[in-house]
Structure 1
Amino acid sequence: MIRFGLHSGQQYRTFDEALLLWRRAEELGYDWVSVFDHYRPPLGGPNGVCFDGPTLLSALAAHTSRVRCAILVSSVTWRHPAVAAAIAATLDHVSGGRLEFGLGAGGPDLGYQQYGIPFPEPRVRLEMLEEYCQVVRGLWSRERTTFHGRHYDLVDARLSPKPLQARLPLVIGGGGEKRTLRVVARHADVWNTLAGDPGEYRRKREVLARHCAEAGRDPGEIRGSITFRAVLAADEARVGLRRAERLAMLPAGSPDLAEYVTFGTPEECVRDLLPYVRLGARDLLLGVRPPVDWETVELFAERVVPALRAASAPTESSAPPTSTEPTAPPGPTAASASSA
């Protein structure tokens, strides 16, 4: 089943702003809403607003009842994996079993400089991610977890209560072909990446399939998830105006521009996203940030989602099963680690 979601982030000035978006997402029929896990995201500059991700997610989960509640994604640099595992288990209880927990090696964040938090080189962070996945899965699923790795060491560690879900979905974000996708192949239930372009997405899926073969895992067990942005107008006459409005809000040279797949009508958005669906994407997540573009949020739900569901129905029926809780990857989840 294809799922449609909003990646809301948490750069809001009040809790009520964030809550309004999440509740409206449920009303509009979205399947998923997510925050990220940054402290000082570059967008907004050194004084930009940003709530704490897990804390906000807990409150939003408690005020919603149906949507999947996700963090996309939590950097391994912020907290020990045992602490992250406990946070995730708590969030799963608060949400009534609706959590999907994302992990990544981390990216740009002004918090490293402002707060003095260490930011290791990419190779080290990817080693940490490999071990992190093993630790959190062990704590979620085993009565006791002993783990001896290069970065983390646990002896007879316990976590109770366990998550409500028999297998809490672990999302891994990133597109690095040599290391990140190898971690995805070994540990992820969901793989999330920016949309990029269809040719690039096809290549990354092929690389992931090769890593899965090395890991002895069926790539069909891993849900493909893409995050993107769009600006939609109800008709062609408004497209130029709506594009100008959004561009005026972005800083000059904003890297976010690369994330927009569509400046156009809902029908154009369907055409732009359908190639990703045909390549295996099963979670389509529309990025949103304040001031919320309500016209796009509503047009996407009302006109893009039904059209994509209808257009992709034959693809879904012939694709490998991709449930919310995929088959567990082979092998132990809590053992002595080697470098990625």
Structure 2
Amino acid sequence: MRNAGDRAAPALRFGLHYLPQTADAEDSVAAWQRAESLGLEWCSVHDGMRSSEGPDAPSLHGLSLLPLLAARTTTVRCGILVVGVTYQSPAVLAKAAATIDHVSQGRLDLGFGAAGFALEHEWLGLGFPETGTRLDMVDEALQVMRTLWTVPRADFEGRHFRLADAPMSPKPLQPRLPVWIGGGGEKRTLRAVAQYADGWNYVLVEQDVYRRKAAALDRHCHRFGRDPREIRRQVLVDAVLGETVADALDRLPPAKGLEKNTDHWPRVPRLVGTPGELIDLLSPYLDLGVTDFVLIGQPPFDERTLGLFAREVAPALRACRGEGGRG
């Protein structure tokens, strides 16, 4: 399915993005541990300050929960999707990320973005600048964090952030801590991905839409002299799987969470069906450059779907890429 020019593309990864839509931290721990035991390579947590089910529904703070999840796992990459630039200073976030990288023994992947929910900022008393300003802040914040992670003493003078002979020790364990940027803005967001990031996180959209955005990212990479294949490309997948369609329909939970239109993200279509149907849906995205397929999960934990995703969907897609057969 891949052509010869794509042989240097990174190997596929599969994972779980589990929303902390509960006050029970052990629920998230159990989901991450099960994903790891199934051989998935990635787990991540949501960093929104509220539940997608409403302002009064319980939802743990992702950045605070992440060290626990990192400490209770051993092999999966430990991600967060995505920390908004408005939530705290980039210097504080850089320190937190370096600490979590140590807790995880060098497994942190930091998702970062411009934030997008104005009402949440109003609730919490946070400033919410216009979109262009927030994107400018993202550019500066990424420079601040990279500088703090790499030099003994950091100086930075920007419009929004500044450092003055700032120390940071210890540095992250990883020589280059991977940063992911979430979003699909073709002019500014994808430019920032090409300039600063190691991964691009987005949702599963129609093939033509994804193709257009991937091409925009490639163009930005060429402008900055980067090989587009240096950047991992991740899509979030919403699915309820069963051995039969009837089995999946019987376990279909009420529509909630990322199935709805949320802030600045498109609708995530939910597939309710068999692993074969999900394989058919996802396989064309291999030729569009996707390297990471991540299943969305939330309480109550759907172990059946996760198991079928890991045991049937992942091996089949790896086979499409010549990386091995079904497991």
Same fold (TM over 0.5): yes
Alignment pair present for 1:230 and 2:239: yes
Q: Is 1:113 matched with 2:122?
A: yes
Q: Which runs of 4+ in 1 moved over 2 A?
A: 236-242, 248-251, 253-258
Secondary structure at the counterpart of residue 229 of structure 1: strand
- CA separation in 1, counterparts of 2:85 and 2:160? 11
Query: What CA RMSD, in Å, does the superposition of the two structures yield over aligned residues?
Result: 1.8
Q: 2:43 aligns with which of 26, 33, 41?
A: 33
Q: Using the alignment, how far apart are the partners of 1:192 and 1:182 within structure 2?
A: 14
Structure 1: gaps spanning 5 or more residues: 316-340
Q: What percentage of aligned pairs have identical amino acids?
A: 46
Structure 1 residues 16 and 177: CA distance shift in structure 2, 3 A: same
- Whether the 8 Å CA contact 2:42–2:76 is kept in 1: the answer is yes
CA contact (8 A) 2:236 2:294 kept: yes
Q: How many Å apart are 1:261 and its aligned residue?
A: 4.9
- Flag the 1:109–1:25 CA change in 2: closer, same or farther, 3 A: farther
TM-score under structure 1 length normalisation = 0.87
Aligned to 1:7: 17
Once the two structures are TM-superposed, the CA of residue 254 in structure 1 deviates from its matched residue by 3.0
2:196 & 2:148 partners in 1: Cα distance? 14
Find the counterpart in structure 2 of residue 18 from structure 1.
28
Q: Provide the C-alpha distance between the structure 2 equivalents of 1:153 and 1:240, rounded to a whole number of angstroms.
A: 53
Which of residues 67, 70, 93 in structure 2 aligns to 1:61? Answer: 70
* Amino acid of the structure 1 residue aligned with 2:143: Q
SS at match of 1:90: helix
Instruction: State the partner residue of 1:320.
Output: none
Q: Which residue of 1 aligns with 2:261?
A: 255
**Aligned equivalents of 2:270, 2:69: Cα separation in 1:** 28
Gaps of 5+ in 2: 1-10
1:267 to 269, 276, 284: 276
Matches within 5 A, 1:60-139: 60-108=69-117, 110-139=119-148
Secondary structure of residue in 2 paired with 1:263: strand
Task: Confirm whether residue 152 of structure 1 aligns to residue 158 of structure 2.
Answer: no
CA deviation string 1:47-83 (max 9, x = no partner)? 0111111110001101111111011110000000000
Structure-2 separation of matches of 1:107 and 1:28: 33
Q: Which residue of structure 1 aligns with residue 186 of structure 2?
A: 177
2:5 maps to none
Contact 2:118 2:128 in 1 (8 A): no
Residues 53 and 237 (structure 1), Cα distance of their counterparts in 2 relative to 1, 3 Å cut? closer
Give the Cα–Cα distance (whole angstroms) in 2 for the partners of residues 52 and 254 of structure 1. 21
